[in-house]
Structure 1
Amino acid sequence: MIAERYGHIMDENKIRIITKVLGSVSTNCYFIVNVSTKDTIIIDPADSPATIKSVISENGLKPQAILLTHGHFDHILAANQIKEKFNIPVIACDKEKNIIENSSFNLSSSFGANVQLKADEYVQDGTLLNIAGFSIKVIHTPGHTEGSVCYYFLNEDILISGDTLFNESVGRSDFPTGSASQLIRSVKEKLLILPGKTIVYPGHGDSTTIEYEKKYNPFCQ
């Protein structure tokens, strides 16, 4: 795939990003695919294990890991099933452990799901991951939740921002462990310093760029 939107060109021989909007609040589930090997990272398996399995099967993908941007129910509902099906690890921020493992904190109990999930690996701010042929920097961005993180693909200038940064908006901060002041600091001090051409893939809604958000996001002024 060559993506020329916003003037950014991805290497068509390296990466493909498949997006599926899943669940009751239209969460973006991302499949980050190494084109040459079909090795794939699944980010935020929001819901509908059957749909996720279909994407994998129809495209001949080889799942390598599940990355979570945070632990809210609408980002993790299918994680246990996909982990077991493909025998792959779940990776999340160490500061998000209590939310992921607690159905009250991750809000699933309020929606009748009662999801409890244990990550296989807990990472920290600045951790460098090498998965599916990609180099990924973990950026801890507290605010939406205490352990929210974004994943920055170093060689591709791609940021998976979860519910920290949206197109012309930011995530909510009124859930357990949320903080509005922390959220704004995270966006300004950790995300807006990335190259302007960086394409941002958020947890909900349309993609954007760092440059665009600097100019038009009212929370970034």
Structure 2
Amino acid sequence: MKVMHIMLPVCAMNCYLAINEETKESIIIDPGSAPERIKAGVEQSGTTPVAILLTHGHFDHAGAAAEIAAAYGIKVYAYEKERETLANPEINLSVMMGEAASYKTDIFLKDDEEVEMAGLTFKCLATPGHTPGGCCFYFEKEGILFTGDTLFRGSVGRTDFPGGSMSQLVNSIKEKLMVLPNETICYPGHESATTIEFERNNNMFL
């Protein structure tokens, strides 16, 4: 699997394409803004998108999902406990952008649910704390984890937004992420990539 990074302008957000180079298909993770930039990235990759995964429902991660889904005729997936965040403009923070938006999701996943698409298999790992239904997507075979705003290099996500909890977030990371292999590469929603080993040894929040 190849990971393609697309930097988005709103909140310097990382959108990713999880690419199966054999099938020439891709999964779009967190298309938060700048849909034309995302489409350009897809075109550059030479792949056909098959789905959108949302690590959580904040506007900077979900804002362009509906337009991208419509453009490619694909479905949007999120963790089942993120329904209210996606639907409520006060909780998804879209009111901060002056648009009070609700974000549509087609399929809600359960904790530890395993999904196969684009010839790739991933697991939805519930990691509440940044939001009540935040999650990470773990591609075990490839040793890749998309962490959204749960885990950053040397840090963790903010918990001062509606529904946030620092104790819950730290517990989520310890119980769901720190048990993964050291060599697992973590691709966060902001800033640079890291590994489970680096965070286990260096993250002051853990």
Report the TM-score when normalising by structure 1: 0.91
Q: Distance in 1 between matches of 2:104 and 2:83?
A: 8
User: Alignment partner of 2:137: what SS?
Assistant: strand
User: Alignment partner of 1:219: what SS?
Assistant: coil
Query: In the TM superposition, what is the alpha-carbon distance from 1:103 to its structure 2 partner?
Result: 1.4
Query: In the TM superposition, what is the alpha-carbon distance from 1:118 to its structure 2 partner?
Result: 1.6
- Residue 93 of structure 1 is aligned with which of 76, 79, 82? 79
Q: Distance in 1 between matches of 2:201 and 2:182?
A: 10
Q: Distance in 1 between matches of 2:101 and 2:17?
A: 22
Q: Does 1:16 align with 2:25?
A: no
Query: In the TM superposition, what is the alpha-carbon distance from 1:154 to its structure 2 partner?
Result: 1.4
In structure 2, the residue matched to 1:210 is: 196
In structure 2, the residue matched to 1:8 is: none
- Residue 104 of structure 1 is aligned with which of 83, 90, 93? 90
Q: Which runs of 5+ in 2 are unaligned?
A: none
Where does 1:131-210 land on structure 2 (aligned, <5 Å)? Answer: 131-210=117-196
Q: Which runs of 5+ in 1 are unaligned?
A: 1-14
After superposing on structure 2, the runs of 4+ consecutive aligned residues of structure 1 that deviate more than 4 Å are none
In structure 1, the residue matched to 2:110 is: 124
Q: Distance in 2 between matches of 1:65 and 1:113?
A: 25
Q: Which amino acid aligns with 2:189?
A: G
Q: Distance in 1 between matches of 2:82 and 2:48?
A: 27
Query: In the TM superposition, what is the alpha-carbon distance from 1:99 to its structure 2 partner?
Result: 0.7
Q: Distance in 1 between matches of 2:165 and 2:197?
A: 25
Query: In the TM superposition, what is the alpha-carbon distance from 1:115 to its structure 2 partner?
Result: 2.2
Cα RMSD of the aligned pairs, angstroms, is 0.8
Q: Distance in 1 between matches of 2:162 and 2:203?
A: 25
Task: Give a deviation string over 1:120-163, Cα, whole Å, max 9, x none.
Answer: 00011110010111110110001000100000001001000010
Query: In the TM superposition, what is the alpha-carbon distance from 1:114 to its structure 2 partner?
Result: 2.4
Is residue 136–residue 153 contact of structure 1 (8 Å, CA) maintained in 2?
Answer: yes
Count matched residues.
Answer: 206
Where does 1:31-42 land on structure 2 (aligned, <5 Å)? Answer: 31-42=17-28
Q: Distance in 1 between matches of 2:168 and 2:39?
A: 36
Task: Give a deviation string over 1:160-214, Cα, whole Å, max 9, x none.
Answer: 0010000000000111111110001011111000000000001101000000001
Is residue 95–residue 146 contact of structure 1 (8 Å, CA) maintained in 2?
Answer: yes
Q: Does 1:50 align with 2:36?
A: yes
Task: Give a deviation string over 1:1-45, Cα, whole Å, max 9, x none.
Answer: xxxxxxxxxxxxxx1111011132101000011001111000000
Identity of aligned residues (%): 47
